[in-house]
């Protein structure tokens, strides 16, 4: 679908752009979104630059699972015991703007459904 290209998230992983990091390990990085859409808005990204969910392959199953478990972990650490939403915008129609796979964790208020 999309070529693997350098994005702003690659620069964030390399610490070339400062962000408020909430979690990091060998496979993943989690940091606060610069334009929060809820009181808690954290992005969880793989260090491997997979452009979109549609580009993920069977060999990525471990990192994909790890991203979800990381989302659970950072949501708990952010105090979202009343619930939260995990979103993966995918491609143009999905509203994706940064072509490095990322999970949005949104919480801290009642979220509406359906999204726009
Ligand atoms: P998308 O629209 O691709 O699903 O989400 C990209 C997200 O990345 C947006 O919510 C946007 O605010 C966030 N973002 C883009 N550039 C930066 C940045 O330089 N720092 C941080 N912390 N977030 C960013």
Q: Pocket around ligand 1: residues whose beta carbon is below 6 Å from it?
A: 8, 17, 19, 31-35, 43, 89, 95-98
Which pLDDT tens digit goes with each residue over 29-82? 999 999 999 999 999 999 999 999 999 999 999 999 999 999 999 999 999 999
Candidate from 43, 50, 55 with most ligand 1 atoms within 8 A of CB, to mutate? 43
Q: Is the pLDDT of residue 2 over 60?
A: no
The pLDDT of residue 106 is 98
The pairing of strands 40-46 and 84-87 is unpaired
Whether the per-residue pLDDT at 3 is higher than 80: the answer is no
Banded pLDDT at 1 (limits 50, 70, 90): very low
Residue 32: Cβ within 10 Å count:
14
The answer to whether 44 and 103 have CB atoms below 8 angstroms apart is: yes
What's the confidence (pLDDT) of residue 101?
98
Asked whether the beta carbons of 43 and 13 are under 8 A apart, the reply is no
* Cis peptide bond prior to 114, omega within 30° of 0: yes
Average pLDDT over residues 3-27: 93
């Amino acid at each position: 679908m999309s070529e693997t290209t350098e994005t702003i998230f690659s620069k964030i992983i390399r610490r070339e752009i400062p962000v408020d990091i909430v979690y990091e390990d060998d496979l993943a990085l989690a940091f606060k979104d610069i334009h929060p859409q809820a009181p808690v808005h954290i992005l969880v990204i793989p260090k491997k630059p997979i452009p979109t969910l549609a580009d993920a392959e069977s060999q990525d199953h471990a990192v994909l699972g790890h991203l979800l478990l990381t989302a659970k972990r950072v949501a708990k650490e952010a105090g979202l015991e009343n619930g939260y939403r995990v979103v993966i915008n995918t491609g143009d129609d999905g509203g994706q703007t940064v072509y490095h796979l990322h999970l949005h964790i949104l919480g801290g208020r009642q979220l509406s459904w359906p999204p726009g």
